[in-house]
């Protein structure tokens, strides 16, 4: 109870404060909660999986485990960019239907881990349609730069992974 | 999307399998059926379940409840009708919820035969509550409670008349304080009880083997101890009494005779059902708890102990008695109301001489001591028990994964261009040593997931024993290769089909002694149950020397059902294997004429789910041989790696019939679209894999490419690929949350990349769209 009231005093960003792994897509900077990040690996050969949307790049072998990989650029309807030596796959863990599942996200480059305070976080802007912002937890202003904090569960959540399975 | 619901067809398949397993008097399976059908009730069913099916389910459940309440006759005939009702539900599911009036009328007709009036129109229009049964008016949960109470009161009621005394009644369970401990006890108790049963059956072979008696004594002792600690008084008292009786045997105060064996077996069954009840209480709350009356057992045990001195000497029982006598006095049949658990043998009150006749040991002579391959392994098996530990399956899987990765990494390092250029003999030697160690590690890790099939086989001993007793036939069960190992995950799934096939062999295959004598066969029929490894497969064979399949009748039936045409010439082998087609299932019994064919399609489906195959060879009058071929493990699949454009796919070898470069003259099209290939006289539709999977192929002309002819669920297709790359055993992995039609899973190929394993049913379906 006490924690909740403290959170209220600190404003809307309080429960979002914490450590974020930041990365870039084009000119934009993004952040994902450090607790859902499992590891960061370089781009490796991805096996395409048929009957999936374009942003699902396919599956990779993560030390003996097969995990799906999605391209965040394509997911956010940005232009495709050739993978280079800075391209990374961030492996995150999200809650699947029964057990946690690991999913890889292809990003342009990984920047750093930032400690973001509650005061630096603002609610997501309204950009008209809600589908554009529903993946966003909030906007953080750190050292004059804006980081878009992503809701990983929404971006790569199981529901999304399964949408096409029904087709 | 199913949202955690099992697909409808799977549920119905499962129900079909269960109904085959039912025997009159076996309410436990009726309970399981009830659980399944409840998943189809309105409100509980998956959203996409057709309304008709939900309503059929309501009617079906009403019928089941009446069975449990005893309002309807618990007869084989009625279960037959129920089975047909399931078939009709399956039919409706296939038609996506729009069955013709025909099917609905049949459904209602079958329900009426059971004794439940259902109006066909109520299944399609109007409200669901329009039929005469009263079950549908209760809400699901309440009905379930009542059933459980009914079941347990039935059980205890049946114990009353045989027992007499009213000792050992408790009303309120006071053992629910430590549910964790209790859950552990339940699991352990089941294991113990199983080992008791196995050991008792072994004891019938060598009644004076002290080691086996000890093996029976110990689990009773453990159950007694733990149940006492957990305040499970009834179980404790029963286990204690039995332990005392066994202690007398151990100390030589009385011999291990058939009366003792009988009581140990029935006590084992009773304990099992009591533990089952507790498990139920643990899951569904104590409301339904009803204590079992064990006074009958206690009285019998005491009587046995008191009269112990006049028991026949051990030698009398141990004398081999190859001729079984199911017709002699049978305590089970005389004193037994529906619930098998509660039987109370009256044997002890009989004079000592009669006891030899009661001897259950003689009924299925499990194996003649002369040919006892399984026997030897069984003995060594029971001695190993102490030296094992329990490991979480997930940890095991993780180990297997890691080892698989190790093997791949090792080969990657070895193939590294720089490394392979080093011409150092020491390095070469070290590498080969490393390879040896890793492959040893891999073998061990894989074998840890394997268990001997003995456990499953042992259950068949009891099954045959009971079946032959009931049907008055004489059957020898000879088991071979019980120590053959099988994937742990497969054990449970193979049990049901195996039971069904064993039952078929004893029920229908083996004729009554008199008939057998007419054909010049020995009165005692023989059923062989074999397991062995062949190539990369595990084989299970069930062979009986019964009457075999009647190919003429099968042919006739197949033509009637439109499965084959009048003019089609089929070999006996092909005809026999028609019994696995769905058309041969419950609809009309072929049993009357040839003795086989009920529900074999369910067996086939269950085996195919395990990526196995089942076949039958039979000679009319001589007997039948059922062969089940299973992969050694579910984790590994034997596959052919094919290339399509830049992608590689794995086709399960078991489905592949042949591969070839098609010739122009064999290629034909229908309306310029449907492509076919003439393969050995059959037209096989061509599926261009690159079209389905959207990849750019090397070849677009089938005559340049290679086609792989595959068979799945009786349908053949020619898959067009660019190249065959090789054959490999691959470890199946799921795609980490991706569920894609046409793809069964992924695997890690030799170069570390992921290859996709084809799901042929899905591939064929996506082409059909």
pLDDT tens digits, B306-351? 764 444 433 333 334 444 444 334 444 333 344 333 334 443 433 3
What whole-number distance in Å separates Cα of residue A31 and Cα of residue B482? 58
Candidates B738, B741, B748; nearest CB to A64: B748
- In this predicted structure, the answer to whether residue B591 has a pLDDT above a threshold of 50 is no
Q: In the predicted model, is pLDDT for residue B54 greater than 90?
A: no
Both tokens of B473, joined, read 């036939």
Q: What is the pLDDT of residue B177?
A: 61
Alpha-helical segments (H) within B164-208: 179-203
Q: Mean pLDDT lowest for which of A115-124, B180-189, B690-699?
A: B180-189
Res B604: pLDDT: 84
CB-CB neighbors (< 8 A) of A47 in chain B? 647, 746, 753-756
pLDDT beyond 60 at B596: no
pLDDT in tens, B399-454: 887 887 787 778 778 778 888 888 889 998 998 899 899 888 888 887 887 888 88
Mean pLDDT lowest for which of A69-78, B424-433, B739-748?
A: B739-748
3-state secondary structure of B359: coil
- Residue bearing the bigger pLDDT, B721 or B330: B721
Per-residue confidence band for A71, with pLDDT thresholds at 50, 70 and 90: very high
Q: Do A50 and B740 touch (CB under 8 A)?
A: yes
Tokens 């064990």 label which residue? B294
Measure the CA–CA gap between B291 and A142, rounded to whole angstroms. Answer: 68
Q: In A, which residues are within 8 Å of B402 by CB distance? A: 64
- Say how many residues make up chain B: 769
> Are the beta carbons of A87 and A23 closer than 8 angstroms?
no
Domain of A7? Answer: 2-166
Q: The CATH number of the domain where A102 resides is what?
A: 2.40.50.180
The two three-digit tokens of residue B238, written as one number: 């029963």
Is A143's Cβ below 8 Å from some Cβ in B? no
pLDDT tier, A123 (very low <50, low <70, confident <90, very high otherwise) = confident
Looking at the complex, does the CB of residue A68 fall below 8 Å from at least one CB of chain B?
A: yes
3-state secondary structure B77-138: HHHHHHHHHHHHHHHHHHCCCCCCHHHHHHHHHHHHHHCCCCCHHHHHCCCCCCCCCCHHHC
Q: ipTM of the predicted structure?
A: 0.79
- Assess whether pLDDT exceeds 80 at residue B695: yes
Contact A64 B401 (CB under 8 A): yes
The CATH code belonging to domain B636-768 is 2.40.50.180
For residues B397 and B393, what is the distance between their CA atoms, to the nearest angstrom? 6
- Give the torsion sign (CA, B639, B642, B646, B647): negative
Return contacts of B378-384, CB within 8 angstroms, 24+ apart.
B378/B198, B378/B202, B378/B454, B378/B458, B378/B482, B381/B452, B381/B454, B381/B483, B382/B195, B382/B198, B382/B199, B382/B202, B382/B212, B382/B215
Mean pLDDT of the A12-38 span: 87
Domain residue extents for chain B: 8-137, 166-312, 395-448, 452-631, 636-768
Number of H-type helices and E-type strands within chain B: 27, 18
Query: Quick count: other Cβ atoms within 10 Å of Cβ B493?
Result: 17
Helix axes B27-38 and B140-163, enclosed angle (nearest 10)? 180
Question: What integer best gives the mean pLDDT of chain B?
Answer: 73
**Fold of the domain built from segment(s) B166-312:** 1.20.120
Q: Is residue A92 within 8 angstroms of chain B, CB to CB?
A: no
What is the C-alpha to C-alpha distance for residues B678 and B115, in angstroms, rounded to an integer? Answer: 53
Does residue A18 register a pLDDT over 80? Answer: yes
pLDDT digits (tens, 9 = 90+) for B264-286: 888 888 888 888 888 777 777 66
Q: Which residues of B touch A164 (CB under 8 A)?
A: 740
Q: Higher-confidence residue: A112 or B220?
A: A112
**How is residue A114 written in tokens?**
């930032």
Query: Are B468 and B544 a contacting pair, CB within 8 Å?
Result: no
Chain B residue numbers with beta carbons less than 8 Å from the beta carbon of A102 are: 736
Q: What is the DSSP letter of B284?
A: H
A103 contact residues in B (CB cutoff 8 A) = 736-737
Output the pTM of the full model: 0.51
Which chain A residues are Cβ-neighbours of B755 within 8 angstroms? Answer: 47
DSSP helix, strand, coil percent of chain B (3-state; round to 5): 55, 15, 30
Mean pLDDT on B529-548:
85
Q: Which of A59, A64, A65 sits opposite B738 (nearest CB)?
A: A59
The residues that bridge with B719 in the sheet, in sequence order, are B687, B708
Q: Say whether B251 sits in a helix, a strand or coil.
A: coil
C-alpha angle B356-B360-B361 in degrees, rounded to nearest 5: 90
Which range is least confidently modeled, B16-25, B375-384, B670-679? B375-384
Q: Structurally, how many domains does chain A consist of? A: 1
pLDDT band at B528 (very low <50, low <70, confident <90, very high): very high
Contact A116, A33 (CB under 8 A): no
Residue of A42, A44, A46, A50 best to disrupt the B interface, most CBs of B under 10 A: A50
Buried b (16+ CB within 10 A) or exposed e, B376-394: ebbbebbeeeeeeeeeeee
b (16+ CB within 10 A) / e for B526-549: bbbbbbeeeeebbbbbbbbbbbbb
Question: What is the SS3 assignment for B198?
Answer: helix
Cα separation of B707 and B686, whole Å? 8
CATH topology of domain B452-631: Heat Shock Protein 90 (3.30.565)
Say yes or no: A56 contacts chain B, CB-CB below 8 A. Answer: yes
């Amino acid at each position: 109870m006490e924690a909740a009231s403290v959170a209220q005093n600190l404003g809307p960003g309080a429960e979002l404060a914490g450590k974020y792994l930041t990365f870039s897509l084009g000119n934009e900077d993004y952040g994902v909660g450090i607790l859902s990040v499992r590891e960061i690996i370089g781009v490796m050969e991805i096996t395409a999986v048929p009957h999936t949307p374009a942003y699902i790049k396919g599956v990779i072998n993560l030390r003996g485990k097969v995990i799906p990989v999605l391209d965040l650029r394509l997911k956010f309807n940005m232009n495709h960019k050739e993978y280079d030596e800075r391209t990374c796959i961030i492996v995150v863990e999200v809650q699947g239907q029964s057990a946690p599942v690991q999913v890889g996200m292809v990003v342009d480059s990984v920047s750093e881990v930032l400690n973001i305070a509650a005061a630096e976080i603002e609610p997501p802007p309204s950009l008209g349609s809600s589908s554009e912002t529903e993946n966003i937890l909030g906007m953080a202003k750190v050292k004059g730069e804006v980081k878009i904090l992503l809701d990983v569960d929404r971006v790569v959540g199981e529901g999304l992974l399964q949408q096409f399975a029904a087709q | 999307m199913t949202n955690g619901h099992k697909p409808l067809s799977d549920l119905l398949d499962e129900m079909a399998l269960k109904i085959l397993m039912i025997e009159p008097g076996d309410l436990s399976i009726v309970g399981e059926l009830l659980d399944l059908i409840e998943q189809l009730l309105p409100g509980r069913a998956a959203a996409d379940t057709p309304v008709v099916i939900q309503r059929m389910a309501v009617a079906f459940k009403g019928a089941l409840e009446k069975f449990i309440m005893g309002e309807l006759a618990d007869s084989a005939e009625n279960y037959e009708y129920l089975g047909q009702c399931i078939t009709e539900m399956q039919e409706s599911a296939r038609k996506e919820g729009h069955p013709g009036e025909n099917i609905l009328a049949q459904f209602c007709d079958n329900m009426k035969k059971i004794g439940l009036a259902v109006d066909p129109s109520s299944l399609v229009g109007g409200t669901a509550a329009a039929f005469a049964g009263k079950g549908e008016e209760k809400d699901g949960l309440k009905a379930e409670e009542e059933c459980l109470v009914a079941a347990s009161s039935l059980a205890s009621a049946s114990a009353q008349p045989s027992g007499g005394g009213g000792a050992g009644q408790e009303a309120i369970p006071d053992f629910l304080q430590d549910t964790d401990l209790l859950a552990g006890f339940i699991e352990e108790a089941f294991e113990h009880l199983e080992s008791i049963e196995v050991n008792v059956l072994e004891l019938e072979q060598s009644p004076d083997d002290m080691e086996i008696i000890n093996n029976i004594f110990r689990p009773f002792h453990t159950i007694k101890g733990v149940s006492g600690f957990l305040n499970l008084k009834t179980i404790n008292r029963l286990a204690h009494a039995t332990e005392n009786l066994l202690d007398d045997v151990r100390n030589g105060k009385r011999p291990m005779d058939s009366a003792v064996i009988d009581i140990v077996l029935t006590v084992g069954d009773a304990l099992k059902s009591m533990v089952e009840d507790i498990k139920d209480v643990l899951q569904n709350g104590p409301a339904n708890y009803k204590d079992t009356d064990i006074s009958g057992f206690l009285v019998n045990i005491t009587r046995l102990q008191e009269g112990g001195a006049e028991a026949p000497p051990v030698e009398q029982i141990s004398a081999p008695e190859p001729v079984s006598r199911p017709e002699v006095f049978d305590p089970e049949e005389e004193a037994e109301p529906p619930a098998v658990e509660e039987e109370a043998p009256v044997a002890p009150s009989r004079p000592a001489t009669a006891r030899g006749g009661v001897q259950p040991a003689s009924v299925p002579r499990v194996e003649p001591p002369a040919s006892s391959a399984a026997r030897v392994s069984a003995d060594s098996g029971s001695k190993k028990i102490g030296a094992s530990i329990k490991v979480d399956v997930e940890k095991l899987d993780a180990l297997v994964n890691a080892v698989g990765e190790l093997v791949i990494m090792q080969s990657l390092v070895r193939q590294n261009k720089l490394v392979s250029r080093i011409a150092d003999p020491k390095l070469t030697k070290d590498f080969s040593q490393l390879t040896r160690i890793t492959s040893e590690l891999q073998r061990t890790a894989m074998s840890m997931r394997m268990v001997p099939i003995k456990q499953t086989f042992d259950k068949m001993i009891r099954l045959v024993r009971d079946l032959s007793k009931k049907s008055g036939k004489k059957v020898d069960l000879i088991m071979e290769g019980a120590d053959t190992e099988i994937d742990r995950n497969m054990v449970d799934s193979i049990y049901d089909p195996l039971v069904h096939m064993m039952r078929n062999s004893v029920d229908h295959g083996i004729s009554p002694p008199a008939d057998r004598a007419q054909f010049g066969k020995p009165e005692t029929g023989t059923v062989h149950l074999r397991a062995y490894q062949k190539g990369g497969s595990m084989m299970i064979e069930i062979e009986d020397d019964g009457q075999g399949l009647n190919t003429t009748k099968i042919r006739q039936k197949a033509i009637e059902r439109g499965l084959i045409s009048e003019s089609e010439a089929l070999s006996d082998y092909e005809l026999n294997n028609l019994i696995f087609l769905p058309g041969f299932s419950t609809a009309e019994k072929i049993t009357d004429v040839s003795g086989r064919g009920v529900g074999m399609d369910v067996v086939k489906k269950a085996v195919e789910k395990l990526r196995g195959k089942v076949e039958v060879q039979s000679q009319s009058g001589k007997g039948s041989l059922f062969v089940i071929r299973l992969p050694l493990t579910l984790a590994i699949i034997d596959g052919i790696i094919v290339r399509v454009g830049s992608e590689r796919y794995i086709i399960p070898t078991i489905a592949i019939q042949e591969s070839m470069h098609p010739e122009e003259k064999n290629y034909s099209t229908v309306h310029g679209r449907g492509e076919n290939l003439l393969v050995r006289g059959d037209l096989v539709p061509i599926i261009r894999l690159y079209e389905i999977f959207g990849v750019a192929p090397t070849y677009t002309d089938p005559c340049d490419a290679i086609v792989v002819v595959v068979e799945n669920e009786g349908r053949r297709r020619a898959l067009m690929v660019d190249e065959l790359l090789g054959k490999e055993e691959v470890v199946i992995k799921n795609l980490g949350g991706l569920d894609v039609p046409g793809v069964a899973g992924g695997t890690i190929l030799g170069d570390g990349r992921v290859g996709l394993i084809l799901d042929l049913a899905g591939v064929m379906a996506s082409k059909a769209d």
